């Protein structure tokens, strides 16, 4: 077994699968298993991710305003401007909301393909790349290509990734492969590489500094005490720097707004930190999420110190009073998937030498069981919609939405809700409905029935309420969509 208490980065040779002593670290060659089989499988997974994202975008099923927000910020980077996101408010600097400068890396992609679909393609590719890392690591550590392929499938179909794909693009797309590479390096005893892959996480989102700190804790447990302490200190310090200095400096309010998720209850009442801690474990959705998170590995991930990396994310989600953070939906669990799956790999390797026969037997059965669970559970997850004919149907609602988008001239300013938002950000100045204070946009484009806002019975009256200084009249009515023009 790999000696985790020395600083060597060399990978020991391993016998062929099914031979040699139990628990032998399995690296057929120093370079690791061939990439091609995993790259082909990841291409299929990435294709499914992007196909789902494209259909959802094309059929106007965008679930939130986030795709429009990231489209505006990446477009600004591509045009060498400050990342101003008018959806959050006129002239709003997005670095004063979340600290995610890593998204600037997508600017060159926008020079080639300037579309929200470019973001969805990038996310699909990043998720797929992480599947290559997970699969190759499984083969390298456990010595079996079948095991590596099986875990690639199980990981690629995992609920955390599928829910993230359903939630459109988010900055955590970069954290997923970075965490996979970090965990791989930790499993192979490549301590310097583990640090190198984990440090950029602080540029993905402000809370990731705490995850980097936990990487330091794992290094400490692996015997790299000085290096681990330094990484833990760096991660903690950078987290404090972002939420106490960098984000407030970029924010109009001069503060980190998301403290309110912990300090305010769902009805807006003040809640002490102690009450937040005491109430963190009360809601069943949180425990359901943890059950599925650990259950996706047959609970064997609990035997690996890598599982410590999930604690910072689970911690703030448990403390939050926002129900969106509690359960299995949205994108928040995607970054946990590479951690628990590679913790499973670590645990399977460890239990091979257990003195408990039942545990050795469970370790041998874990990968097939986990794969079967992932496939069966995947039948009830978002990607299943790709195998339904009505997913691709262009109905009257879609045609009406396209008419509404076409009715807003390029270059104009428009206030809109979620349904049309990401389709307008490319060549318009876009504001969120009710969020354009001090501005009288040229147009209002509204989904009267939904769009993440209350149904609208009187669009002209709503326009007068939002902008009493201006007068708006209906320019286009298409089913449940209406476009109003400033007179």
The rounded percent of the chain whose pLDDT value lies above 70 is 90
81 found inside a domain: no
Mean pLDDT of 324-328: 91
For residue 32, the model assigns a pLDDT of 79
Asked whether residue 15 carries a pLDDT value surpassing 80, the answer given is no
Asked whether residue 8 carries a pLDDT value surpassing 50, the answer given is no
The most confident of the ranges 124-138, 251-265, 361-375 is: 124-138
Q: Which residue has the higher pLDDT, 97 or 10?
A: 97
Mean pLDDT of 406-410: 96
Asked whether residue 338 carries a pLDDT value surpassing 60, the answer given is yes
Asked whether residue 11 carries a pLDDT value surpassing 50, the answer given is no
- In the structure encoding, which two tokens stand for residue 82, read together? 């400050």
328 found inside a domain: yes
- In the structure encoding, which two tokens stand for residue 216, read together? 């330091």
Asked whether residue 98 carries a pLDDT value surpassing 80, the answer given is yes
Statement to judge: residues 173 and 260 lie in one domain: yes
**H/E/C letters for each residue in 239-300?**
HHHHHHHHHHHHCCCCCCHHHHHHHECCCCCECCHHHHHHCCCCCHHHHHHHHHHHHCCCCH
Residues 6+ apart with CB under 8 A from 469: 440
Statement to judge: residues 293 and 369 lie in one domain: yes
Asked whether residue 433 carries a pLDDT value surpassing 90, the answer given is yes
Task: Average the pLDDT over each of 49-58, 130-139, 265-274, 345-354 and give the range with the smallest value.
Answer: 265-274
Statement to judge: residues 426 and 335 lie in one domain: no
Q: Taking the C-alpha atoms of 259, 103, 158 and 179 in order, what is their torsion angle to the nearest 10 degrees? A: -80
Statement to judge: residues 210 and 292 lie in one domain: yes
Q: What element of type H or E holds 15? A: none
Average pLDDT, rounded, for the chain: 90
Examine the fold and report which residue of 357, 386, 415 is the final residue of a domain before the chain moves on. 386
Pairing of strands 481-486, 472-478: antiparallel
Q: Taking the C-alpha atoms of 407, 411, 417 and 420 in order, what is their torsion angle to the nearest 10 degrees? A: 50
Mean pLDDT of 461-477: 94
Q: Single out the residue of 396, 419, 410 nearest to residue 443, CA to CA.
A: 410
Q: Single out the residue of 188, 211, 245, 242 nearest to residue 29, CA to CA.
A: 188
- In the structure encoding, which two tokens stand for residue 457, read together? 């019975």
pLDDT digits (tens, 9 = 90+) for 339-383: 999 999 999 999 998 999 999 999 999 999 999 988 888 778 999
5, with CB counted inside 10 A (0-12, 13-18, 19+), is exposed
Give CA 253 to chain center in angstroms.
Answer: 27
Which residues, listed in sequence order, are joined to residue 444 by a DSSP beta bridge?
415, 484
For residue 283, the model assigns a pLDDT of 77
- Inter-residue contact 50 to 133 (CB < 8 Å): no
Statement to judge: residues 380 and 402 lie in one domain: no
Number of structural domains the chain divides into: 2
Taking each helix axis as running N to C, give the angle between helix 357-378 and helix 159-166, from 0 to 180 degrees, rounded to the nearest 10.
20
Statement to judge: residues 337 and 192 lie in one domain: yes
Give CA 471 to chain center in angstroms.
Answer: 41
For residue 375, the model assigns a pLDDT of 85
Q: Which domain holds residue 117?
A: 36-62+93-386
Asked whether residue 273 carries a pLDDT value surpassing 80, the answer given is no
Asked whether residue 285 carries a pLDDT value surpassing 50, the answer given is yes
Task: Average the pLDDT over each of 17-26, 47-56, 227-236 and give the range with the smallest value.
Answer: 17-26
85 found inside a domain: no
CA distances from 22 to 10, 16, 144, 172 (A): 20, 12, 13, 37
Examine the fold and report which residue of 362, 386, 410 is the final residue of a domain before the chain moves on. 386
Asked whether residue 401 carries a pLDDT value surpassing 80, the answer given is yes
- Inter-residue contact 289 to 333 (CB < 8 Å): yes
For residue 278, the model assigns a pLDDT of 65
- In the structure encoding, which two tokens stand for residue 329, read together? 């939906």
77 found inside a domain: no
Statement to judge: residues 307 and 442 lie in one domain: no
Asked whether residue 85 carries a pLDDT value surpassing 80, the answer given is yes
pLDDT digits (tens, 9 = 90+) for 145-181: 999 999 999 999 999 999 999 999 999 999 999 999 9
329, with CB counted inside 10 A (0-12, 13-18, 19+), is middle
Pairing of strands 429-432, 443-447: unpaired
The confidence band for 451, taking pLDDT boundaries of 50, 70 and 90, is low
Q: Where are the beta strands (DSSP E) in 354-461?
A: 413-416, 429-432, 443-447
CA distance 452 to 5: 52
Asked whether residue 12 carries a pLDDT value surpassing 50, the answer given is no
- Inter-residue contact 483 to 404 (CB < 8 Å): yes
Statement to judge: residues 352 and 450 lie in one domain: no
The confidence band for 258, taking pLDDT boundaries of 50, 70 and 90, is confident
Statement to judge: residues 337 and 480 lie in one domain: no
436 found inside a domain: yes
Examine the fold and report which residue of 326, 355, 386 is the final residue of a domain before the chain moves on. 386
pLDDT digits (tens, 9 = 90+) for 310-322: 999 999 999 988 8
Q: Single out the residue of 446, 476, 477 nearest to residue 462, CA to CA.
A: 446
CA distance 304 to 4: 13
CA distance 29 to 14: 8
Q: Single out the residue of 201, 200, 236 nearest to residue 216, CA to CA.
A: 236
Statement to judge: residues 285 and 403 lie in one domain: no
The confidence band for 275, taking pLDDT boundaries of 50, 70 and 90, is low
236 found inside a domain: yes
315 found inside a domain: yes
Statement to judge: residues 148 and 118 lie in one domain: yes
- In the structure encoding, which two tokens stand for residue 136, read together? 């190759």
For residue 16, the model assigns a pLDDT of 35
For residue 1, the model assigns a pLDDT of 35
- Inter-residue contact 236 to 213 (CB < 8 Å): yes
For residue 28, the model assigns a pLDDT of 37
23 found inside a domain: no
pLDDT digits (tens, 9 = 90+) for 194-245: 999 999 999 999 999 999 999 999 999 999 999 999 999 999 999 999 999 9
For residue 17, the model assigns a pLDDT of 37
For residue 5, the model assigns a pLDDT of 37
Taking each helix axis as running N to C, give the angle between helix 145-156 and helix 116-142, from 0 to 180 degrees, rounded to the nearest 10.
150
Statement to judge: residues 219 and 101 lie in one domain: yes
DSSP structure class, residue 6: S
What share of residues in the chain are helix, strand, coil (percent, to 5)? 60, 5, 35
């Amino acid at each position: 077994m790999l000696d985790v208490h020395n600083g060597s980065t060399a990978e020991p040779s391993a016998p062929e699968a099914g031979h040699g002593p139990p628990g032998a670290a399995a690296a057929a060659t120093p370079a690791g298993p061939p990439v091609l089989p995993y790259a082909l499988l990841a291409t299929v997974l990435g294709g499914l991710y992007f196909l789902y994202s494209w259909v959802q975008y094309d059929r106007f099923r965008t679930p939130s305003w986030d795709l429009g927000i990231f489209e505006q910020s990446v477009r600004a980077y591509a045009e060498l401007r400050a990342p101003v996101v008018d959806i959050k408010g006129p002239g709003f600097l997005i670095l004063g909301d979340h600290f995610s400068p890593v998204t600037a890396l997508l600017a060159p992609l926008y020079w080639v393909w300037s579309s929200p679909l470019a973001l969805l393609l990038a996310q699909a590719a990043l998720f797929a790349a992480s599947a290559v890392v997970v699969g190759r690591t499984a083969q390298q550590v456990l010595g079996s290509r079948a095991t590596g392929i099986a875990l690639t499938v199980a990981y690629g179909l995992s609920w955390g990734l599928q829910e993230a794909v359903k939630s459109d693009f988010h900055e955590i797309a970069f954290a997923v492969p970075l965490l996979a590479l970090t965990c791989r390096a930790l499993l192979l005893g490549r301590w310097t590489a583990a640090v190198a892959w984990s440090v950029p996480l602080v540029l993905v989102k402000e809370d990731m500094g705490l995850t980097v700190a936990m990487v330091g804790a794992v290094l400490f447990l692996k015997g790299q005490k000085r290096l681990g302490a330094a990484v833990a200190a760096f991660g903690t310090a950078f987290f404090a720097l972002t939420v106490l200095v960098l984000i407030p400096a970029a924010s109009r309010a001069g503060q980190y707004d998301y403290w309110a998720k912990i300090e305010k209850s769902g009805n807006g009442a003040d809640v002490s930190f102690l009450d937040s801690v005491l109430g963190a474990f009360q809601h069943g959705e949180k425990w359901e999420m943890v059950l599925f998170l650990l259950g996706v590995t047959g609970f064997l991930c609990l035997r690996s110190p890598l599982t410590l990396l999930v604690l910072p994310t689970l911690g703030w989600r448990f403390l939050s009073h926002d129900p969106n953070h509690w359960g299995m939906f949205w994108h928040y669990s995607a970054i946990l998937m590479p951690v628990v799956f590679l913790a499973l790999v670590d645990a399977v390797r460890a239990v091979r030498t257990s003195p408990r026969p039942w545990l050795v037997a469970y370790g041998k059965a874990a990968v097939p069981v986990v794969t079967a669970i992932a496939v069966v559970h995947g039948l009830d997850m978002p990607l299943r919609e790709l195998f339904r004919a009505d997913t691709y149907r262009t109905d009257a609602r879609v045609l009406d939405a396209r008419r509404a988008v076409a009715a807003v001239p390029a270059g104009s300013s428009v206030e809109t809700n979620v349904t049309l938002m990401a389709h307008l950000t490319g060549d318009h100045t876009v504001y969120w409905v009710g969020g354009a204070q001090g501005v009288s946009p040229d147009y209002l484009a509204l989904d009267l029935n939904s769009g993440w806002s209350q149904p609208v019975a009187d669009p002209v009256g709503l326009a007068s309420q939002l902008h009493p200084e201006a007068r708006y009249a209906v320019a286009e009515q298409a089913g449940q969509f209406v476009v109003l023009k400033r007179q």
